[in-house]
Amino acid sequence: MQTQKATAIAFPNIALIKYWGNRDQALRLPSNESISFNLGDLRTTTSVEFDPRLTRDEVSIDGHAVANHAYERVVHHLDRVADSAPAALKHSMPALLDGRLRARVVSNNTFPMGVGIASSASGFAALTLAACAALGMVKTEAELSGLARLGSGSACRSVPGGFVLWRDAYAVSIAPPRQWNLVDIIAIVAGKHKTVGSTEGHALADTSPLQIARVNDTARRLNLCEQAIAHCDFELLASVIEQDALMMHAVIMTSQPSIIYWVPATFSIIEAVRELRRSGVPVAFTIDAGPNVHCICEAHALKQVKQALWQMDGVRDVIQSDVGGPAYVV
Ligand code: DP6
């Protein structure tokens, strides 16, 4: 067998309606539906090369060989991709059938890792597309999204483009990037960050008595968010995404054990964003499983929001991105 190589590009995404908790943890089937948009100015490029000469899989991210849990997670995902091959392909490649197919995975991000931008979303979306393409598998977008989900839940939302809805097994696009000129301005806060990974966090969601109320209310928030996107209604978007993020953090804070991702600067930025909005600037906040604040604004407000953020104590960096397209094979 010759080596078989392919490269794919995927973008991280920011959830407007959050995914938190799984009804099936192993399959990453979510407790609730979620909506996001892709961050087209931040990208992950991943090459997968199946090479019969390799005795073990090799994984490098941003120029560093990856080991331990992160390595296992990638290798496990390659096994899933190989497993998903149709019977005819498996029979034409015996190494695929008995699990001896080894790959060299090289992944690079244009954004810093570990700053609260979910590199696992773009990472597993790009890995899925590259691995399938390297094996010559043709899959639908829904199949690729469903496969990416098994690696990291939110990765299924990085497969389709623009504004994306993840209902259960896979995600679909509900509007193209040009639908609404929104920008995500990410305020990276200084200080020591508590690191409880989202996988661990999802597993704790049901220990909070608030999770059931949050899950039962999902259809309402989803509907408001879809309306806001369809009509480019910023006031509506702001009220529903801020409430949604606060509901997720209320669950996180009241889980057992309790997790608090916020630091003092997180509160200051929330206040500043609300103050800006009161003065007429179309900006709203959302916060993932970390202390950084994603300030979602209309593109014409970009300069003003960035200026305000840079002036704040505790803001270490500011990263921005427009709405991006789907993941693709290069
Ligand atoms: C807070 O998709 O990172 O960003 O499935 O364990 O990889 P795993 O979790 P992940 O969880 C994302 C959580 C979130 C909210 C969201 O993106 O919807």
Using CA atoms, how far apart are residues 44 and 148, in angstroms rounded to an integer?
Answer: 14
The Å distance, Cα 100 to ligand 1 centre, comes to 31
Is the model's pTM score more than 0.95? yes
Report pLDDT digits (tens) over 54-112.
Answer: 999 999 999 999 999 999 999 999 999 999 999 888 888 877 777 778 999 999 999 87
Q: Which atom of ligand 1 is nearest to the CA of 199?
A: 6
Using CA atoms, how far apart are residues 182 and 163, in angstroms rounded to an integer?
Answer: 11
Q: Which atom of ligand 1 is nearest to the CA of 201?
A: 6
Peptide bond into 12 cis (omega under 30): no
- What's the CATH number for 181-322? 3.30.70.890
DSSP-derived letter for residue 155 is G
**Most ligand 1 atoms within 8 A of CB, residue of 128, 198, 215 to mutate:** 198
Using CA atoms, how far apart are residues 274 and 278, in angstroms rounded to an integer?
Answer: 6
Hunting for tokens 């990638």 — which residue is that? Answer: 74
Residue nearest to atom 12 of ligand 1 (CA): 154
The Å distance, Cα 192 to ligand 1 centre, comes to 21
The residue ranges of every structural domain in the chain are 4-176, 181-322
Residues with a CB atom less than 6 Å from ligand 1: 15, 18-19, 28, 34, 118, 120, 152-154, 198-199, 202, 288-289
Q: Which atom of ligand 1 is nearest to the CA of 17?
A: 18
Largest separation between any pair of C-alpha atoms in the chain: 65
Is residue 251 within 8 A of residue 20, CB to CB? The reply is yes
Q: Which atom of ligand 1 is nearest to the CA of 248?
A: 1
Which positions ≥6 away from 245 have C-beta within 8 Å?
18, 285, 286, 287
Q: Which atom of ligand 1 is nearest to the CA of 34?
A: 18
Determine the pLDDT at residue 1: 66
Nearest to 71 by CA among 27, 79, 263: 79
Determine the pLDDT at residue 217: 98
DSSP letters, 48-76, are EEE-TT-SS-EEEETTEE--HHHHHHHHH
DSSP letters, 170-216, are SEEEEE-GGG--EEEEEEEEPSPPP---HHHHHHHGGGSTTHHHHHH
CATH of 4-176, one of 2.60.40.10, 3.30.230.10, 3.90.550.10, 3.30.300.30: 3.30.230.10
Residue nearest to atom 6 of ligand 1 (CA): 199
Residue nearest to atom 11 of ligand 1 (CA): 198
What are the structure tokens assigned to 48, written together?
């997968």
- Rounded to 10 deg, the angle between the 141-151 and 68-83 helix axes is 150
Backbone φ and ψ for 179, nearest 5 degrees, come out as -55, -40
Using CA atoms, how far apart are residues 191 and 14, in angstroms rounded to an integer?
Answer: 22
The Å distance, Cα 148 to ligand 1 centre, comes to 13
Give, for all 330 residues of the chain, the pLDDT tens digit.
688 999 999 999 999 999 999 999 999 999 999 999 999 999 999 999 999 899 999 999 999 999 999 999 999 999 999 999 998 888 888 777 777 789 999 999 998 776 667 689 999 999 999 999 999 999 999 999 999 999 999 999 999 999 999 999 999 999 999 999 999 999 999 766 657 889 999 999 999 999 999 999 999 999 999 999 999 999 999 999 999 999 999 999 999 999 999 999 999 999 999 999 999 999 999 999 999 999 999 999 999 999 999 999 999 999 999 999 999 999
Q: Which atom of ligand 1 is nearest to the CA of 288?
A: 1
Which positions ≥6 away from 156 have C-beta within 8 Å?
125, 145, 146, 148, 149, 166, 170, 171
**Most ligand 1 atoms within 8 A of CB, residue of 44, 202, 241, 286 to mutate:** 202
Report pLDDT digits (tens) over 238-264.
Answer: 999 999 999 999 999 999 999 999 999
Using CA atoms, how far apart are residues 230 and 249, in angstroms rounded to an integer?
Answer: 27
Q: Which helix (H) or strand (E) holds 6?
A: strand 4-10
